Structures are given as structure tokens and as C-alpha cells.
Chain A
């Protein structure tokens, strides 16, 4: 019996229509259920219970939770939100399910520690995460480095940072820079040079593009902050000597204080304002700068997982 052509056409067309319809409604469902996969964290917040419930498939479940954490953080960051309440539980669940998933400790520190809008502003939770990582992976020097980094940058606890770097430097195959960082901490704690050293190390040692891009952006910001500090000092000296601020960088050149128009790390010349302040030409492309922005400037929303430039 030959199949009926009419039936084939009818059901074939219906099949295609249903396929399109299912995608349309799935997208609508996704909009209604934003963050629905995270509801479990509210209901089953105990990582140990989840580990037991995973019936031995804890590695797979850890991967799933890690993806959820990344999406949760990325989604909130993209919307410019400042509360990341579920981030720490998501990361804790992930690391309990798979304590050897090193990427969680590295990224987790980057997500948790920095203050909003660039992170969750939970440096102490980030330290707890790193400590958990160190207990389970004592030979991973990067974990000690991450902990020291958070101690230094976010908690300003230089003694703890030095201790973390020192512990890390004693791990087999540790990066030799760790010993240097531990040693320099006492002398240079709190100054820009130290921060520059640490971001340089992050930039040089990470294999991850987004962490590298983040480190590069911080290094550029440190350079800008240093440049502007130096330039504003020159302007102040000029004002002292001449009783008026310089009208342009050419005045500073004529006075022998400067050679050429100074440029920022993006290659754009700095702007000398009438009141003697120094501004960057394009602050939107120089995230993390503390100086050189126009009065009342609001930085754009931070980008997530940007490629290294």
C-alpha cells in the first residue's frame, strides 16, 4: 500500500508548524522562568544534601551548577544589579560537589571579591572559597595567590596577603614570583607599584582570556592613575612658579617640565582642563580608573567575559 501523499503533506506541514511553535513558546517560557534553575538553591541549599542526591554523578552536577553560577553572575552583571545573593551558595555547592574544579576558585574569587558593580562585594566569602580550595588542592599555588590577591586588593589586609603568598611560594612548582610578592609586601604594601606587580602576574600567568582582559584593564587603569597623579603634580608646580595654571600642555613643555603631549594607554592624549585637572579622552574604554574622569561621570556597566585586548 503506497502511503497517501495527502497525509504526508498534512502531517509534514503540521510537524514543521509545531517545531516553530515549540521554539516560540519555549522562548516565552524562558522569559517567564528567568532564573528558574536557581530556585533549587533556595529549596536545597545544603551542598551535602545535593551531593547525596546526585547518586554519584556529582561531577556532572558540579558542571551544571558551575554553568548556573556563571550565568547567574553574568546575567546580573549585564543588568547592572548590585546584589548577588545566590552567588556564594552556588559556588559553595559547586565546590562541594567537585572540590577539584579549580576554575571555580579562580573565577569565583573574581566574581565574589570585587565591590559592585564589578563583583558581589563579598571578599570574606571569596577567602572562604579559596581556603576550601586550598584544603582540597594543597599543591595548587594559584589558589594561594588568589587568596593573597583578595587579601591585598579587596580586604587591604597586607599581613594576610603576605602570609598567603608565602604559603604559596612553598608549594612544589610554585611560580617564583610568589616569593617576590611575599617579600615585597612589607616594603610596598598599599602603593600602586605593588598593585601593578600583582596584576602583571595575573596577566602573565593566567591562560583564561577574560581574566587576562580584566588584568590588562586594571594595569591600564593603574597606569592612568599614576600618569594623572604625576601630571597634576606638574600642574601644581607650574601654578606655584607662575601664579596661574598652564593653559595647555605646551606651557608645561615651554617650562621644561614635560616632553611632548602625554598620552594614555589607549594612545589618546590627556586633556588639561581650565581648572588644572587632567582628564582622559575616553573614560568609557578605561574601566577601573580612579582619576581623570569628568565631574559626575558614571561608568558604563562592566562587561563580562570580554576578550583580551
Chain B
């Protein structure tokens, strides 16, 4: 069972790496890091700040774009090319296919994030000439960005399991935007009353909380991130990604592929 998931994951990884769009996006992310150096040079006393803010934002945004645009095609492309029937005619279960696809894309994103992170740290070294102890928090911010990728990949797969690629992209992107304001959404819910409060609170808890996973501003200001936050964010992101993945599996299990 696990062997089949690993095979699907590695095939997904290889396919994604071969994808030209993916390379273009990585190149663009590296270009952004290069721009950070330029902006850093023309800024006064805030070179590090600009490099960290711009670099981490680029890693996050480009990773998100990759996650959404590759994630939405993971199922639909296989159906369109009719390769899914070949896979499922073998002793591969539908849920294994979904889980394998998830791990394949997650792996791709982690590798991408690693290279982009190297770019960010390179730029940081270029402007600061040396690393500081506080720079280790940048690693935490990168880790949180990877947790965001896990959630958005699972969501893209969930939408891809029942919707068209275009709609899946819209849904996933909308959830990313809403999730970035998740804490404000819960704030809005707290100000309402009666049934509206229940509905708003329910919706606020259902959307992914991307705001807790975004510590770019605070690490740029050399603020430490608490161990408790790292722990809770890790558990939360894994739970949320599993939840979305379970939804994708359930929908895909019941989907008529004829």
C-alpha cells in the first residue's frame, strides 16, 4: 500500500519538476530575491528588513501559485489524458491515488521552497555580510510557509476532485485570501448576535487560518516566535490538510469516472 503511494508521489514529483511553468516560477522567485538586493541597496538602514520581507513574501506567493495551479490539475489532467484509467486498472485504490498525488506535490513544493530559501539567505548574506542569531527565525517563517503549502495543496486537490480546473483555482485562491484574514473573520463573528453569530463563527472556523502561519513581518523585525506557536501551527496545519485530503478522498471515491 505505502509502496503504491510512494510510486504515485514520485511520479507526481517528476512530472511537476518537468513542468516548464514550474521552472519559470522558480526563476521568477529568484529574480524577486535579486530585486530584494537592489531595493536593499537603495534603502537606508532597512536592507535586512526589505530582503526578508520581500524574499519570504516571494517564496510564499510563488509557492502558493505553484500549489494552486499544479494542484488543481492533478486529478482533472489525469482524467483528461485518460491516464487515470490506466492507473486505477492496476491494484491502486482511489484514495491511494489522491494521497500519493498530495505527497508528490507537497514534496515538489518543499524542494522549491528549499531552493527559494537558499536564494533568500544568499541575499541576506549579501546585504548583511554575516548572519545574525535572529536570522534563525527566518527558518521558522519558512517552515510556516511550507505548512501553508500543505494546506493549500490539500485544498486544491479537494476542489480538483469535483470541479473544473478554473473553478478549483478560483475556490483555492479565494480560500487563501479569506484564510489570510481568518482572525479578523472571527473578530467579525464575535461582534454579531444570535443565529448570525453561530453561522459566522462556524464559517470562520471552517476556513483555513493562514494568518497564524504568517510571521514574516515579525521575523523581519527580529521578533522571536514562541515554541507554543510553532507546535500549535504544526498540529493545526497537519490536521487541516488531513481534513481537506479526507474530503478529497471521499468525493473521489464516490465520483463516477465513466
Contact = CB atoms under 8 A, between A and B. Distances in A.
B212 A15 contact: no
B211 to A, nearest CB: 7
B205 A26 contact: yes
Contacts of A64: 181, 184
Contacts of A33: 183, 212, 229
Contacts of B93: 4, 7
B229 A32 contact: yes
A11 interface: yes
22 contacts: A3-B94, A7-B94, A8-B250, A11-B246, A11-B250, A11-B253, A18-B240, A18-B243, A19-B243, A22-B205, A22-B239, A23-B205, A25-B232, A28-B232, A29-B233, A29-B236, A33-B212, A36-B183, A43-B220, A44-B217, A67-B191, A68-B184
Interface of B: 93-95, 181, 183-184, 186-188, 190-191, 205, 209, 211-212, 217-218, 220-221, 226, 228-229, 232-233, 235-236, 239-240, 242-243, 246-247, 249-250, 253-254
B27 to A, nearest CB: 25
A-side binding surface: helix, strand, loop or mixed? helix
A253 to B, nearest CB: 48
B232 A7 contact: no
Interface in A166-209: none
Contact of A25 (B95, B218, B220, B235): B235
Interface of A: 3-4, 7-8, 11-12, 14-15, 18-19, 21-23, 25-26, 28-30, 32-33, 36-37, 39-40, 43-44, 64, 67-68, 70-71
A39 B246 contact: no
Contact of A43 (B183, B209, B217, B235): B217
Nearest to B242: A18
Contacts of B229: 29, 32-33
Contacts of A40: 217
Contacts, number: 90
A43 B221 CA distance: 8
Contacts of B187: 37, 67-68, 71
B43 to A, nearest CB: 14
B243 A22 contact: yes
Nearest to B182: A26
Nearest to B241: A18
A30 B205 CA distance: 11
A172 to B, nearest CB: 33
Contacts of A3: 94, 253-254
> Nearest 4 pairs between A and B by C-beta?
A18-B243, A15-B246, A25-B236, A3-B253
